[in-house]
């Protein structure tokens, strides 16, 4: 007879994980020095119109963070705003196509619609979870101007191949590094390959402001146009280099998207703490991946030899349904959750399934048409969408090791009872 401890928790047994939820605790709490700076800023300057104080300090610190390879770093009030400015600065407008990955967070590409550009979706590579170079090349037309690479979950894309394609077709490259703070490809930091790069600094990110984003570029025109899009008056007057463009400084190009000094202070502190936190994630997720390799129905997250995962923004291994006949991902998640695990299906669907991306009519500009991006049946994007599991990005080390061991124990327990789970699923219909 099976003891209740050994029976699946979904079927009335005791959970394998005793650690109380939540298991992913982020962002970390502020230290006193950060709170003191926030308080002092309150009575000093609560709206920075140019680039001084903590906003300037953050931009300088970010350029240093990128190994001083970048000339310009411009803060914005979100990663999405910075992406809008980047697309505008790179010349996206009516009639221009942007090729990007079929499965990623929508904001990497959604601002293209507002500029009346067209998003063309290419497949991803299961290994990197970013753009598949072959599919990218097939998606290029004579109207393509920009390639958007997203270093998904912190794993750098195949940059050699992508840059070769961009060069061959004369295209600009925008790197969305919102998951990839500190990630390196062949030793070089993500964010230093493209014509421009954007990092979200939203609260979940490895370097966080609360809400915020930063655009980096070595291209003076991209800098000027992005600054004018989001920073009218003082900053445009003082920093736009081109005299022709600078004449628009009073109005800029109509938007004010600047970062608040409070967010800049939070970001400065999280940037300073980043190296230590990054190391903790490497230790924790490196160990988790090694242990998960023992679980036959899970494919741990692959990390290519030539890359450094930087912030390890997410841990999304794949379910191997062929190793668990009769069990769907939904049933597996139910069983693992019952064991006390914080697990789910990743929230972002393929972009081609979202209303903004479907249909022949533009919902933003009624009466005008847009390219409909149909999903490709059997794509890698579809496979990852259907099989990925979302697990905590364990950030505590070595204190978190015991929790990781409990997770492995829960995976193994569910594996031992796969037949009972399949029977339960069949009985449930």
Ligand X SMILES: Cc1ncc(COP(=O)(O)O)c(C=O)c1O
Residues contributing to the site for ligand X (CB under 6 A):
78-80, 104-105, 107-108, 150, 176, 178-179, 200, 202, 213
Closer CB to ligand X, residue 202 or residue 406? 202
Closer CB to ligand X, residue 179 or residue 337? 179
Closer CB to ligand X, residue 72 or residue 105? 105
Closer CB to ligand X, residue 199 or residue 411? 199
Angle at CA 157, nearest 5°, toward 296 and 108? Answer: 105
98 within 8 A of 116, measured Cβ to Cβ = no
DSSP bridge partners of 131 = 124
- Beta carbon of residue 214, minimum distance to ligand X (angstroms, whole number): 10
Angle at CA 280, nearest 5°, toward 279 and 285? Answer: 100
**Alpha-carbon torsion angle 152, 153, 158, 163, nearest 10:** 50
- Beta carbon of residue 84, minimum distance to ligand X (angstroms, whole number): 10
Residue 129 CB burial class (10 angstroms; 0-12, 13-18, ≥19): buried
Closer CB to ligand X, residue 111 or residue 375? 111
Which residue number places its CB atom closest to ligand X?
Answer: 79
- Beta carbon of residue 215, minimum distance to ligand X (angstroms, whole number): 12
| Cβ neighbours of 187 (radius 10 Å) | 9
- Beta carbon of residue 312, minimum distance to ligand X (angstroms, whole number): 14
Closer CB to ligand X, residue 15 or residue 156? 156
Give residue for tokens 């979100």.
78
- Beta carbon of residue 371, minimum distance to ligand X (angstroms, whole number): 21
Closer CB to ligand X, residue 202 or residue 379? 202
Closer CB to ligand X, residue 37 or residue 176? 176
- CA 111 → CA 114, 117, 217, 389, distances in Å? 5, 9, 18, 28
- Beta carbon of residue 177, minimum distance to ligand X (angstroms, whole number): 8
Task: Give the integer Cα–Cα distance in Å for 427 and 247.
Answer: 71
- Beta carbon of residue 141, minimum distance to ligand X (angstroms, whole number): 24
Which residues are within 8 A (CB) of 280 and not within 5 positions of it... i.e. 6 or more apart? 395, 396, 397
Helical (H) or strand (E) element with 404: helix 401-416
Task: Give the integer Cα–Cα distance in Å for 235 and 75.
Answer: 11
Closer CB to ligand X, residue 132 or residue 339? 132
- Beta carbon of residue 202, minimum distance to ligand X (angstroms, whole number): 4
Closer CB to ligand X, residue 213 or residue 261? 213
- Beta carbon of residue 338, minimum distance to ligand X (angstroms, whole number): 29
Task: Give the integer Cα–Cα distance in Å for 85 and 231.
Answer: 10
| Cβ neighbours of 181 (radius 10 Å) | 29
CA atoms within 13 A on the CB side of 105: 17
Closer CB to ligand X, residue 80 or residue 144? 80
- Beta carbon of residue 150, minimum distance to ligand X (angstroms, whole number): 5
- Beta carbon of residue 154, minimum distance to ligand X (angstroms, whole number): 11
Sign of the CA dihedral with 215 first, then 221, 226, and 228 last = positive
Please write down the long-range contacts of 300-304, taking CB distance under 8 Å and 24 or more positions apart: 301/153, 301/155, 302/127, 303/155, 304/127, 304/128, 304/155
- CA 109 → CA 97, 175, 240, 301, 351, distances in Å? 11, 11, 26, 25, 9
């Amino acid at each position: 007879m099976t003891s209740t401890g050994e029976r699946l928790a979904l079927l009335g047994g005791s959970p394998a994980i005793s650690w109380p939820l939540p298991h992913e605790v982020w962002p970390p709490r502020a230290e006193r020095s950060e709170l003191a700076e926030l308080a002092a800023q309150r009575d000093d300057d609560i709206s920075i119109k140019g680039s001084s104080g903590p906003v300037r300090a953050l931009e300088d610190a970010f350029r240093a963070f990128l190994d001083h390879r970048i000339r310009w770093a411009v803060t914005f009030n979100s990663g999405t705003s910075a992406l809008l400015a980047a697309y505008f600065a790179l010349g996206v407008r009516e009639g221009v196509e942007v090729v990007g990955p079929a499965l990623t967070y929508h904001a990497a590409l959604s601002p293209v619609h507002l500029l009346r550009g067209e998003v063309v979706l290419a497949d991803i590579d299961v290994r990197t979870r970013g753009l598949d170079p072959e599919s990218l090349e097939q998606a290029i037309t004579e109207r393509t101007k920009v390639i958007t690479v997203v270093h998904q979950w912190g794993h750098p894309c195949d940059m050699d191949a992508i840059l070769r394609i961009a060069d061959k077709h004369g295209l600009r490259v925008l790197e969305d590094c919102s998951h990839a703070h500190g990630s390196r490809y062949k030793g070089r930091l993500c964010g230093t390959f493209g014509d421009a790069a954007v990092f979200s600094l939203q609260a979940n990110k490895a370097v966080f402001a609360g809400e915020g984003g930063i655009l980096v570029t070595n291209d003076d025109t991209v800098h000027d146009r992005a600054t004018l899009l989001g920073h009218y008056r003082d900053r445009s007057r003082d920093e736009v280099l081109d005299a022709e463009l600078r004449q628009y400084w009073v109005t800029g190009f109509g938007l004010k998207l600047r970062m608040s000094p409070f967010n800049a202070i939070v970001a400065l502190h999280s940037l300073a703490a980043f190296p230590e936190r990054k190391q903790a994630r490497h230790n924790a997720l490196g160990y988790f991946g090694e242990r998960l390799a023992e679980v036959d129905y899970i494919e741990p997250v692959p990390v290519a030899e030539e890359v450094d995962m930087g912030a390890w923004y997410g841990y999304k291994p794949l379910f191997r349904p062929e190793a668990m006949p009769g069990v769907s991902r939904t049933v597996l998640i139910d069983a693992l959750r019952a064991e006390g695990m914080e697990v789910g299906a990743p929230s972002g669907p393929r972009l081609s399934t979202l209303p903004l991306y479907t249909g022949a009519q533009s919902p933003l500009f009624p009466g005008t048409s847009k390219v409909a991006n149909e999903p490709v049946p059997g794509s890698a994007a579809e496979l990852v969408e259907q099989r990925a599991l979302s697990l905590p990005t364990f950030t505590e080390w070595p204190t978190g090791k015991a929790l990781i061991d409990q997770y492995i124990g829960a995976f193994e327990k569910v594996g031992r009872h796969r037949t009972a789970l399949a029977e339960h699923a069949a009985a449930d219909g």
